[in-house]
Chain A
Amino acid sequence: MASLGKGTRIPIRVIKKIIEESFPKLKKGGYSVTSPAEIEYNCIAWAAGITDRWWWPDALNLYFWPSGVPRTETIEAFIRAFETLDFTLCQDAEYESGFEKIAIYVDSKEKPTHAARQVTSGLWTSKLGEFVDIEHPIDGLDSSEYGLIAIIMKRPQPSPA
């Protein structure tokens, strides 16, 4: 897998191969790469609409995590983190006009690994670690890397800034 360097320009063909190697379902379902690689933010921040911080409840208290939410890698803590942004639990991942939905993925030990946000087309947008952003079908990232979707949440669509 190619590592990323400052200002590194990776050919799109190579980017896609790296992605499809870890997420084989994307190759069948289709997806598009929507940004260059960027280390400033991760999938949790991106799902929350933030692009200048890396969100994670790490034990060393190094990275951003919403104030008052337990710094634990549990689905409950991640739900509470998104609740600080007015998201509430919901039943399905169908697109609903006027609402923004997010999906939280967990691994086989039920530890959160990833989050994705739905866009108005009904597809989902994901930041892949410190790599690129992609738009993809809901089940495109089901994999040994990220696990499966455990939780869907929604909030009224924020007004454009």
Chain B
Amino acid sequence: MSYAVLTESRIGRAQAINAMSARALLEQDRGLGKASKVIHSGFRETINHFFVPVSRQEADPSIKFLMLKDKWKAETVLLSSITEIAMHPAYQQIIGMGLTAVPLILAEMEREPGHWFWALKSITGTDPTLPEDKGHMRRMTESWLRWGREHGYLLE
């Protein structure tokens, strides 16, 4: 089994266990507070580290990106504040990956729109979106994808 396939399979197993634990949490018939969220988040990180250790995450930026993106998405879905969304520790770690993260972010944006504009502007120092498109998710996404193709971060 190749390294990439093995890693993919390990991520799959970690995601399956996380999904099971999320389902188990959701099955509980009582209100859940912040404390249970913290416990669940810690459990998820433990599972992730068991199947995909930090050393492997560091060796493959795409794995690190996927792990951070999943955590960020799960913990910011109810937020409206872009500042809060962008200041999430997992998002900040993605920004910390620098230019390595740019093709990964753009590929993710090609798959589905997301709040990646803050990270892209912070990393690249540019903003290809038009002033009249501010806040228009689809148009901003299209501008960044075009920029990515023009600068060789995405395949045509």
Contacts and interface: CB of A to CB of B under 8 A. Distances in A.
Interface of A: 1-6, 13-14, 17-22, 24, 27, 39-40, 42-45, 52-56, 58-65, 73, 111-114, 127-131, 144-145
B127 A21 contact: no
A54 B135 contact: yes
B78 A131 contact: yes
Given A3-B73, A3-B77, 6 more contacts: A21-B31, A24-B31, A40-B137, A44-B80, A62-B129, A113-B81
B112 interface: yes
Contacts, number: 111
A109 to B, nearest CB: 12
SS class, residues of chain A in contact with chain B:
loop
B135 A43 contact: no
A1 to B, nearest CB: 5
A111 B121 CA distance: 24
Closest 10 CB pairs of A and B: A64-B135, A24-B31, A53-B135, A6-B112, A3-B73, A17-B26, A42-B80, A129-B78, A58-B82, A63-B135
B26 A62 contact: no
Contacts of B78: 18-19, 22, 128-129, 131, 145
Nearest to B19: A2
B77 A62 contact: no
A62 B82 contact: yes
A64 B131 CA distance: 9
Contacts of A111: 81
Interface in B68-97: 70, 73-84, 86
B22 interface: yes
B118 A1 contact: no
Nearest to A128: B78
A60 B137 contact: no
Contacts of B114: 39
Contacts of A5: 111-112
B53 interface: no
A113 B82 CA distance: 10
Nearest to B111: A6
B112 A53 contact: no
B31 A129 contact: no
